[in-house]
Structure 1
Amino acid sequence: MPSIKTLIRNLGPGLLFASMAIGTSHLVLSTKAGAQYGWVMVIPIILANVLKYPFFEYGIRYTTVTNTSLIEGYRNRGRAYLWLYAFITLVTTFTILAALYVVTAGLLINLFKVDGLSVSTIALGLFIFISAVLIIGRYRFLELSLKFVVTILFIALLVTTVLVLFKG
């Protein structure tokens, strides 16, 4: 029987993958939609997951079978595919990061009752702090904190689900 520490260590890659899929919509919009529309929102959630799953599965299978990355696969298909991938990644990266920093800054302002600092200032501060941690080489710190946050979110999800099931 594996120890709890071994289990947690083995869950690491899965938690990191799951946390990369958690975005603003999962933290804010889906909870608001669930509160407003109730159980009817289960249908689009299941549908979205069913439609997204093949793409995640295909990416993993492709890299396993070919022993190359998806980026190498795009390059092998032709430079146009690689440039299209680079363009889409560049555009979505800045958009997604901006949204996440603004939402996180808003959460920090409301959670800690911060007065006198704008959302933009706090978002910039978060960006500088996280960038500095990565540049200094403390990726391990970010990885551990991410595991901690995802674990808390998972426990909160379980507790909330149980409460909703029994309290409506």
Structure 2
Amino acid sequence: MRTGVYPGTFDPITLGHMDIIRRAAHLVDRLVIGVTTNPSKTPMFTVEERLEMVRRETAELPGDIRIVSFDSLLMDFAEREGASMIVRGLRAVADFEYEYQMAGMNQQLNADIETVFLMADVSLQPIASRLVKEIAIYGGDVSRFVTPAVAVEIRDRVDRIGRRGTGGQTV
């Protein structure tokens, strides 16, 4: 059984993430979506909220898709899941430089697990969770970047934490 791991913070899950998930699910027998934390990012949603969000958004997709959280080295997580590949989405050249370096480091940790890069659909390439959150915090419409249910969750969260005026800190 070929198992692939698609790791990310998914804070929030975007249409770009969904595109990569749909396509990756066709490449493997089982796709494990690993929801993690990133110390360099400030999350809008808790890990539990993000897990639920990803579960809901992927529930109707075909294939064997599991959603789990992890807080370890990616390669340790991939080994635990029995993965033969790590799936990474690319939007732009800047993504490639970072991802290329990470793939090289991961290969040093375990050469038996390949990293596979999938280019995001052209119409979805500009979408980044960080930018979606920033647009929402400043009162913008994020409905073109996320599903309707996720857009509602973002609006509710922003309403709870309060929108920032110009010059305020962003998430």
Of structures 1 and 2, the larger Rg is shown by: 1
Same fold (TM over 0.5): no
**Greater helix content:** 1
**Greater strand content:** 2
Bigger RCO (CA 8 Å, 6+ sep): 2
TM-score of the superposed pair, with normalisation by structure 1: 0.27
